[in-house]
Amino acid sequence: MATAKNIIRKFNDIEPLPHVVTTLSHLISDENATMKDFEDVIKMDPILVVRLLRLINSSFYGLTQRIDSIGRAVAFIGRKNLHNLAVTDALKNIFRGDKKSHIFSRKKLWLHCAAVSICAKMIAERIFGTNGDDAYLCGILHDFGMIVEEQVEREKFLATCEACSTGNSITTLEQQFLGTDHCEIGYLMTLEWKMPQTIQEAIRDHHQQDNNYPPESLTGIIQIAEYITGQLGYTALANTIPELPLHLVSHLQENMDEYKVLIEDLPEEMIRAQDIYGAKEE
């Protein structure tokens, strides 16, 4: 992990995650944190305040009275949704500033992450009947390690992408060219940000084929979401549709009717998510 830690250190010097995001991450993991604590953090970021108030007063929530209080908005939207909003806004800024390359596009990677996050949230809620907030956050973050690699070791990363277009495993090639991979980098960064352990593990293992994570686990959900969105063309790189572990293939086959409906609804859900998180290609 020494190589991954060195790359992360260099990235943090170039493009640190906004203080508001890291602070909110710490508050999420603090059982004693109060809504007042969250409100105090949000007040320090005027752009996020505008986004929060615009969201809470949008047609998505359909409130009869306008909310102008940051405290009321925070209480209404909830801690995890607030955190996800802040993380998504921060990552959108980092994903901007694409340098020209025929093999890799930050915009394409952003659209992939947004699609996976929305699909993962739908799977968690519709297929397994659980809260989808962590699934959404994990989807947004799962390939963030690629941006870190592209920023710090651009030439090696692009060489990896070029080789990957031949059908080789992205993580195997990353280890060959970079001495680490985006899963390991993402895992270490979520450790720093004190994300929930299930998110850390899902980011670390989302390319694993032989660990047999249950379909309802966060790792299983992200793997299914990546596969579905890949089939629909939302891939991070050309010719890199992820393989699905056999036990998850069986799960899909056994629940095909439910997944067909989910897939049909995915485009509309992505449009709705644009109002909430701005999760779209710009």
Cα–Cα distance, 238 to 159 (Å, whole number): 14
Residue 279's pLDDT is 54
* pLDDT for res 280: 54
End-of-domain residue from the set 60, 76, 95? 95
d(CA 235, CA 107): 11
Q: In this structure, are 195 and 282 located in the same domain?
A: yes
**How far is Cα 211 from Cα 103, in angstroms, rounded to an integer?**
30
Which residue, of 95, 120, 154, is where some domain finishes? 95
d(CA 4, CA 183): 10
Distance, in Å, from the CA atom of 211 to the CA atom of 192, rounded to the nearest integer, reads 25
Per-residue pLDDT of the chain (282 residues; tens, 9 = 90+): 889 999 999 998 887 777 888 888 888 888 898 888 988 888 888 878 887 888 888 776 778 889 988 888 888 888 888 888 888 888 887 887 767 788 898 888 988 999 999 999 999 999 999 999 999 999 999 999 999 999 999 999 999 998 886 667 899 999 999 999 999 999 999 998 888 899 999 999 999 988 889 999 999 999 999 999 999 989 888 767 778 999 999 999 999 999 999 999 998 888 877 666 655 544
pLDDT in tens, 101-125: 888 988 889 889 999 999 999 999 9
Asked if 35 and 86 sit in the same domain, the reply is yes
What's the domain range around 84?
17-95
Q: Let me know whether 127 and 265 are in one domain.
A: yes
Give the residue among 222, 243, 241 at the shortest CA–CA distance from 231: 241
Q: Is 71 a member of any domain?
A: yes
Same domain, 85 and 133: no
Count of domains forming the chain: 2
By C-alpha distance, which of 150, 133, 141, 169 is closest to 273? 133
* Predicted pLDDT at 281: 47
Tens digit of each residue's pLDDT (9 = 90 or more) over 258-277: 999 999 999 888 887 766 66
Q: Determine the pLDDT at residue 188.
A: 96
Phi and psi (nearest 5°) for 245?
-55, 150
Same domain, 68 and 130: no
DSSP state of 126: I
Same domain for 91 and 120? no
Domain boundary residue, one of 75, 95, 115: 95
pTM for the model: 0.86
Class of residue 162 by CB neighbours under 10 A (exposed 0-12, middle 13-18, buried 19+):
middle
